[in-house]
Chain A
Amino acid sequence: MRFAPHTDQDVREMLEALGLSTLDELYAHVPADVMLDRPLDLPAGVSEMELLDDLQALAARNRHADDLVCFAGGGAYDHYVPALVWALAGRSELQTSYTPYQPELSQGVLQALYEYQSMICRLTALEASNASLYDGATALVEAVNLARGATGRQRVLVARTADPRHVEALRTYGVGAGYEPEPFGRGGAVEPPDAGDDVACVIVQHPNAFGVLEPAREVFGAARERGARAIHVFDPLALGVLAPPGELGADIAVAEGQALGNHLNYGGPYLGIIATRMEDVRRLPGRIAGETVDADGRPGYVLTLQAREQHIRREKATSNICTNQTLMAIAAAVYLAWLGPEGLRDLGEACAAKARYAADRLTQHGAVRLTHPDLPFFKEFALSFDRASPLEVRDALIERGFLVGPVVHDSLLVACTERRTREEIDGLAEALAGVLE
């Protein structure tokens, strides 16, 4: 495949215009010591058909969510992606554009981001959203940075029931930022931690990594009383039925946004959602689209509050983020508007009902129990087994055509989206019984 359109004559004449006769001369000023004196050790280029054959062969060696029945969760879910989402977000005028540095030619992306931000604010009952971050884990990292900056305090408390991958990310980024996340709570749901006056933020994932609903209101209230920022890691598709972060008293809400119209994609591209109260808007990281008017007084959109950002503020910026996940945010906005308030509620009810049914059905087997039987959950739940390891069960279920997991703190997660049918759930129950024979 070649995409450079130059004919031999073009090359010759362009070189002539430069007073040169060979392409090598363009590199004449590069020290010989650093020039590669051999061709790259890579296969030669191939035609488009050969390339696609190669990629199709690789893709064919993967099992996937059309081939296995997907009950997997843990932050990425097999929600239905309506046909219009990528028919629209995938429009090439949007997809092949860059960050909207020239707003007059970028009104489509800017307005779509403004609308995304607006829907995130309504969804979370908070006042200020940015235009997306990389993913859920990095959104949490940025929320912690925001909280530490806003409070001038150092310590970071994170619920033990939060996603272990998120906690791992906090540990990694904390090395640079100068904190070590401190876990609190035990069991399937937390209680308010003993937050001292040096605590910058208290992080609760709700529903948590076991799928369990946390006493978030109580924890957030206690945290705010001590002057800490309350950070809610939420599931955007739970918010049709569950109280939103703003109503629960969270100061900052972050989420993995994959469930909103984005494909599973083996972990990315997804999007990180972050929203906060207006008082902290100038501490938000990343791009923010804002409404304004043009020279004729007509409404239009620009990137705003850029004085927060790295290209203006350099080492004093709120974050180093430049490229974000704009296209995924646009897809999320299309999807949320497709759902509408009623669709969002219906979808949440469906997930909750199917998860409840699945939990009841799977635990009919004597060797299967809910890891946290007394606690309410939303769309996923954690299972423990009397005689088998969760990883063995997971692997054996794949053989029978079902994908579950991941395994979190020695429990096996099972998630139900609106796509899972009663028949599939019954099938999973039978398969599980077979595995545990």
Chain B
Amino acid sequence: MSVEPSGVPPGEAPRRGAPVRVGDPDLPRTLRDLSRPGRRASSLPALDVPVAELAGEHRRATPAELPEVGERDLVRHYTRLAQRNYGVDTGFYPLGSCSMKYNPKVAETAASLPGFQRLHPAQPDDTVQGALELLWRLERALCEITGMAAATFQPAAGASGELTGLLIMRAFHRKNGDPRRRIVIPDSAHGTNPASVRMAGYEVATVPSDARGLVELGALEKLVSDDVAGLMITNPNTLGLFEEDILEIARTIHEVGGLLYYDGANLNAILGRVRPGDMGFDIVHMNTHKTFATPHGGGGPGAGPVAVRERLVPFLPAPVVRRDEDGRFLLEHNRPESIGRIHGWGGNFGVLVRAYAYVFGNGGDGLREVGERAVLNANYLAERVKGEFPLAFEGRPMHEFVSTAKPLKKHGVRAMDVAKRIIDLGFYPSTVYFPLIVDEALMVEPTETESRESLDAFADAMLQAAREANEDPEVLKEAPITAPVRRLDEARAARQLKICW
């Protein structure tokens, strides 16, 4: 029987009195380790019809080598995995640009109602009137929030929304007999923006940021010409700053016949205060897992609804939800100018139910409060830490702020070391090294759902890390020591590639 001391690095004796788990059969690490030939969790009803013969040429020769485990094995295994993971329900998660706000439980209850969860996507419209009305109401609400005319729910995430928007731009210019070549993006943009531009068949033209951290207007004017199809931008931008010249930017792009795309990653900051449509934007995507509190699932699912101005409505992916004169809801498929189909069905409906719960639970007044509390929290936190972690730019932060850990470099401490130390101090760290234009960036987004106490505790942790960098930098470089694992060798993961057992 093996003895596995828990929480003690190999080679060190466990501290006297420390718990020792003896021969725990669940210590093996993967489901494959747990697998025993002949063990099985599943049960199926006895076959009540004759066996069907399949021709030999089509048959699988050897069984798929899946784990052979019992139900209890599975429950303990995944419970243990969950315990080795940190979510918003575990604690503060100030990951900049990700809006990791609290995910209301009522939204889960709603999404698991059989009347939503058990709908087949090929059901005729008459049998899904409630689902279509939900989508229709949500579309109306998102259009009001963004100042747009109509929306599609097909994009499964923000990046898919970006590509959808760019294909809409393409269809628009093509219809005008005016194919164009370039899309302008700020140098602070998310990586998805240039990647989407390429997938839409356009070229990227990068516009630099100025000393304020905002789009450099002069450079933009020089960059634009009549081969610019459009511009993609977040506002507030990825530095957490409001693009104060947005109307000039819009005018510059519109004057050469381009369209303005609003990357909704940062919409949380301006809910109920500023609408993309009123800033001159033509196309908007929203990230429901950011702004509308749908759980991100460790990487997905999201949903990336795209809303557009009236003149772009004909190009939306088909089908779209419509209400006829009798108040009946339907999916309209016959849309000759549509760009086509972005998702296999209608998008991540289950996620949209959750977004609906958030939007209508909060209501118009609540959403405005969401935005202002998010901005208040970010500003308060920035104020508390900027002495040690100077803001990358002077302007007033909106829902998030970008600091730099540059002052700690003289101690040999990098932004990543600060992040790892924050883990030991009890929090998920901020985003690091983004935006790319900021040296040693720490991008912090507290969201509106954090109390002043959690902000203070996080600020204390950041300040402690700064102090330690000064006094004992090794503490940061050794961190984390309290997480389920210590720092992981990412270079080795890529070099000695092991992505399958």
Tell me if B305 counts as interface (CB < 8 A to partner A): no
Instruction: Find chain A residues with CB under 8 A from B1 CB.
Output: none
Tell me if B159 counts as interface (CB < 8 A to partner A): yes
CA distance A92 to B500 in the complex (A): 26
Q: Assess the B86–A88 pair: CB atoms within 8 A.
A: no
| Chain B proximity mask over A328-343: 1 for CB below 8 Å, otherwise 0 | 1010001011111111
Closest chain B residue, CB of each to CB of A39? B364
Tell me if A161 counts as interface (CB < 8 A to partner B): no
Q: Assess the B66–A42 pair: CB atoms within 8 A.
A: no
Contact of A3 among B86, B102, B123, B274 (CB under 8 A): B102
Instruction: Find chain B residues with CB under 8 A from A403 CB.
Output: 120, 123, 127
Determine how close the nearest CB of chain B comes to the CB of A300; give it in whole angstroms: 4
Residues facing B in A51-110 (CB within 8 A) are: 51-52, 54-68, 70, 72, 74-76, 78, 82, 84, 87-109
Instruction: Find chain A residues with CB under 8 A from B51 CB.
Output: 349, 353
Indicate whether A33 sits within 8 Å of B247 (C-beta atoms), given known contacts A102-B423, A111-B81, A323-B296: yes
Determine how close the nearest CB of chain B comes to the CB of A159; give it in whole angstroms: 16
Instruction: Find chain A residues with CB under 8 A from B256 CB.
Output: none
Indicate whether A99 sits within 8 Å of B351 (C-beta atoms), given known contacts A36-B274, A176-B199: no
Instruction: Find chain B residues with CB under 8 A from A113 CB.
Output: 299
CA distance A296 to B273 in the complex (A): 50
Tell me if A346 counts as interface (CB < 8 A to partner B): yes
Q: Assess the B115–A62 pair: CB atoms within 8 A.
A: yes
Stretch with Cβ within 8 A of B (4 or more), from A5-13, A150-158, A362-370 = A5-13
Instruction: Find chain A residues with CB under 8 A from B145 CB.
Output: 40, 42
Determine how close the nearest CB of chain A comes to the CB of B358; give it in whole angstroms: 8
Instruction: Find chain B residues with CB under 8 A from A217 CB.
Output: 57
Q: Assess the B343–A135 pair: CB atoms within 8 A.
A: yes
Stretch with Cβ within 8 A of B (4 or more), from A197-205, A313-321, A427-435 = A313-321
| Chain A proximity mask over B85-104: 1 for CB below 8 Å, otherwise 0 | 11111100101001011111
Q: Assess the A98–B54 pair: CB atoms within 8 A.
A: no
CA distance A337 to B247 in the complex (A): 55
Tell me if A117 counts as interface (CB < 8 A to partner B): yes
Instruction: Find chain A residues with CB under 8 A from B156 CB.
Output: 134-135, 138, 268-269, 323, 325
Q: Assess the B65–A122 pair: CB atoms within 8 A.
A: yes
Tell me if A209 counts as interface (CB < 8 A to partner B): no
Residue in B75, B133, B341, B359 whose Cβ sees the most chain A Cβ within 10 Å = B341
Q: Assess the B275–A304 pair: CB atoms within 8 A.
A: no
Instruction: Find chain A residues with CB under 8 A from B368 CB.
Output: 39-40
CA distance A322 to B87 in the complex (A): 18
Tell me if B184 counts as interface (CB < 8 A to partner A): no
Q: Assess the B300–A132 pair: CB atoms within 8 A.
A: yes
Stretch with Cβ within 8 A of B (4 or more), from A224-232, A284-292, A382-390 = A284-292
| Chain A proximity mask over B239-268: 1 for CB below 8 Å, otherwise 0 | 000101011000000000000000000000
Q: Assess the B49–A55 pair: CB atoms within 8 A.
A: no
Residues facing A in B267-291 (CB within 8 A) are: 270, 272-275, 278-279, 287, 289
CA distance A217 to B317 in the complex (A): 35
Tell me if B106 counts as interface (CB < 8 A to partner A): yes
Instruction: Find chain B residues with CB under 8 A from A178 CB.
Output: 201
Q: Assess the A43–B60 pair: CB atoms within 8 A.
A: no
Residue pairs across A and B with CB atoms within 8 Å: the count is 704
Tell me if B302 counts as interface (CB < 8 A to partner A): yes
Instruction: Find chain B residues with CB under 8 A from A66 CB.
Output: 114, 118
Size class of the contact patch on chain B: 35 or more
Q: Assess the B340–A168 pair: CB atoms within 8 A.
A: yes
Tell me if A190 counts as interface (CB < 8 A to partner B): no
Closest chain A residue, CB of each to CB of B431? A101
Indicate whether A107 sits within 8 Å of B485 (C-beta atoms), given known contacts A14-B376, A242-B60, A267-B121: yes
Residues facing B in A220-278 (CB within 8 A) are: 239-244, 247, 256, 263-270
Determine how close the nearest CB of chain A comes to the CB of B243; give it in whole angstroms: 10
Tell me if B82 counts as interface (CB < 8 A to partner A): yes
Determine how close the nearest CB of chain B comes to the CB of A106; give it in whole angstroms: 6
CA distance A67 to B145 in the complex (A): 36
Closest chain B residue, CB of each to CB of A172? B340
Instruction: Find chain B residues with CB under 8 A from A35 CB.
Output: 273-274
Instruction: Find chain A residues with CB under 8 A from B295 CB.
Output: 92, 95-96, 327
Contact of A337 among B55, B69, B300 (CB under 8 A): B69
Instruction: Find chain A residues with CB under 8 A from B409 CB.
Output: none
Instruction: Find chain B residues with CB under 8 A from A344 CB.
Output: 63-64, 66
Contact of A93 among B82, B195, B449 (CB under 8 A): B82
Determine how close the nearest CB of chain B comes to the CB of A325; give it in whole angstroms: 5
Instruction: Find chain B residues with CB under 8 A from A321 CB.
Output: 157, 159-160
Instruction: Find chain B residues with CB under 8 A from A320 CB.
Output: 159-160, 162-163, 192, 195-196, 198-199
Residues facing A in B287-345 (CB within 8 A) are: 287, 289, 293, 295-302, 317, 339-345
Q: Assess the A65–B119 pair: CB atoms within 8 A.
A: yes
Q: Assess the A44–B372 pair: CB atoms within 8 A.
A: no
Contact of A112 among B81, B191, B247 (CB under 8 A): B81
Q: Assess the A61–B361 pair: CB atoms within 8 A.
A: no
Q: Assess the A398–B127 pair: CB atoms within 8 A.
A: yes
Indicate whether A17 sits within 8 Å of B380 (C-beta atoms), given known contacts A165-B345, A290-B497: yes
| Chain B proximity mask over A172-211: 1 for CB below 8 Å, otherwise 0 | 1101111000000000000000000000000000000000
Closest chain A residue, CB of each to CB of B250? A34
Closest chain A residue, CB of each to CB of B420? A104
Q: Assess the B81–A108 pair: CB atoms within 8 A.
A: yes
| Chain A proximity mask over B50-87: 1 for CB below 8 Å, otherwise 0 | 11101101111101111111010011001111111111
CA distance A354 to B45 in the complex (A): 12
Contact of B79 among A2, A91, A316 (CB under 8 A): A91
Determine how close the nearest CB of chain B comes to the CB of A376; give it in whole angstroms: 6
Closest chain B residue, CB of each to CB of A27? B273
Instruction: Find chain A residues with CB under 8 A from B75 CB.
Output: 84, 87-88
Tell me if B463 counts as interface (CB < 8 A to partner A): no
Q: Assess the A136–B344 pair: CB atoms within 8 A.
A: yes
Tell me if A418 counts as interface (CB < 8 A to partner B): yes
CB-based closest 9 A-B pairs: A59-B115, A267-B345, A327-B297, A108-B85, A45-B363, A172-B340, A61-B130, A326-B299, A267-B121
Q: A43-B364, A96-B89 are in contact. List 16 more A-B contacts (CB 8 A).
A: A4-B449, A40-B368, A45-B363, A60-B115, A105-B428, A107-B484, A114-B499, A168-B341, A171-B340, A172-B340, A266-B119, A310-B192, A327-B298, A349-B47, A353-B47, A422-B48
13 example contacts (A-B, Cβ-Cβ < 8 A) are as follows A15-B376, A44-B366, A55-B353, A65-B119, A107-B81, A114-B501, A268-B156, A311-B434, A323-B157, A326-B298, A328-B300, A340-B42, A340-B66
